[in-house]
Amino acid sequence: MSDTPAPYRPRCMHLYCKAMAVFGEAFESDPDYQAGMTNFWCLRTQKPCGPDSNDVALDVCSDPERPCFQEY
């Protein structure tokens, strides 16, 4: 395991999950966090879909081309 920090990856400031409430920006170090298995929601809609009616997830909400994306 390396101590090298992960490269910066932009994400939408409205993306949220339970692990973010507990671990903040280090949410991926949460022992219960599993990529692809975490329930994310949009803080703008309070739902698992964004204002553009598309799904909310870390990978899709890290796309600056998404119309509702606002960089964190």
What residue spans define the domains of the chain? 15-62
Neighbouring C-alpha atoms within 13 Å toward the C-beta of 48 = 5
Q: What pLDDT was estimated at residue 28? A: 76
The pLDDT tens digits of the residues spanning 42-55 come to: 999 999 999 999 99
List CB contacts of 11: < 8 A, sequence separation 6 or more.
58, 61, 62, 71, 72
Residues in the chain: 72
DSSP state of 48: S
**What mean pLDDT is predicted for residues 23-28?**
77
In this prediction, residue 3 has a pLDDT band, given cuts at 50, 70 and 90, of low
pLDDT averaged over every residue in the chain: 85
Strand segments (E) across 7-68 = 15-17, 40-42
